[in-house]
Structure 1
Amino acid sequence: MESVLAEMLTNRNCEPDVWTMNSTLRAFGNSGQIEMMEKCYEKFQGAGIEPNIRTFNILLDSYGKVGHYTKMSAVMEYMQKYHYSWTIVTYNVVIDAFGKAGKLKQMEFLFRLMQSERVKPNCVTFCSLVRAYGEAGSADKIGTVLRIIENTDVTLDTVFFNCLVDAYGRMERFAEMKEVLEMMKKKGCKPDSVTYRTMIKAYNIAGMTSQAKELRDFVRSSEKSLRLKDQH
């Protein structure tokens, strides 16, 4: 990647642009090479390449992944100062980062801001909220998220329900965890191997080995039935 970039810099007919910058920043940010990412950002700016909203989303996501919350806040302030409108991606990145850090007040503030700015939350947003509340052991707050979802037209997917299963499993709220399967059925969403693995893991951690075995046997028999159907 670096050699191609060097080639572009020496070739006047193929100068780097904001897309080049974003790809480079994303590559270094994803691999945790934050200093290199920052150096590249400065070099691109020095070359007269202006950042766009995607650039800032990449910086926010990269800082969030390594827990650089002060730098995240600085990027957020810069965006507000220079009137960069936040997109759904921006909100999802910062909500998820603060949620994973257990900074629930900041996460909730950003979610309220998102709603006041009329940016529609999506499945990714709700996954981040549920995951954070599950880690914090706040079953009531998860209930609030589910009530908010009921008043939206968001189409829930298996990934969201798996987050919900995991959150309830962490809190040892096994009745609610099982109810998620019913919710999935109502929404026409099929449980996958992750759903069942998550439930089995939660039972095992809680020492509920008989329930774990029962579910494991159910999954095996279901898989066997599907294989027989396919053969016919």
Structure 2
Amino acid sequence: MKGRNVVTYTILVLAVIFAIYPMVWGFSSSFKYLSDISTYPPEWIPRNPTLNNYYLVLFKSWVPRFFLNSLIVGFSSIGLTLLIATLGAYAASRFHFRGMSLVLFILLSTIMLPGIGMLVPLYVNFIKMGLHDTYWALILIYSARQVPFALWLLKGFFDSIPTALDDSARMDGCTSLGILWRIIVPLSSAGYAAAILVIFLYVWCEFIIALAMTSSNEMRLITVGLYTRPTSTRFPA
């Protein structure tokens, strides 16, 4: 048994070393001059450390703006997505109507549509509406892509809340919206935390739509900005 544990832990340690090696090397290289990075044998500890690379990234490149754009689009998409998904999930959970299952299935099936397949019509329409290369173009597209997922996720949490709480609140004079915001939403905090995390990671890592819907450095997100080699573009004086 001890021998098996030794082998298991050895494999895990090697896997961790393999995973963190690029990050450690990248961190070490960030304090080196360009000529020192390619030296052989490689030096883990910089012989002549410098902070010039950080100065260039923070003050002489577009990276801070790309980072800010991603935060703005990410949090705005979260807000719009959760607002729509909350109302839709509450309606699907508490108000039953004919054909509701079909509507929910069609809504969920839109998740399977590849983003690149809708890219051309979206690009043309946003150009015509004058929204290309704006925050709104990205926020609307990302929110529309994430609403089905968030709606189904929140619906599952709403379904787990007893309807007896709704009845008790109505007896006290609470409206449907009051029940939603004062009872259902607070009791579904775990679902909202999961939805926020998934939506933000999707926006932060998405590339194709952000590349097509932005054309200027002022609007590019961090994924597209790093791809376009931002250090070659300086802020205007």
Q: TM-score range by the shorter chain?
A: under 0.3
What is the TM-score normalised by the length of structure 2? 0.23
Greater RCO, CA 8 A, separation 6+: 2
What is the TM-score normalised by the length of structure 1? 0.24
Rg larger for: 2
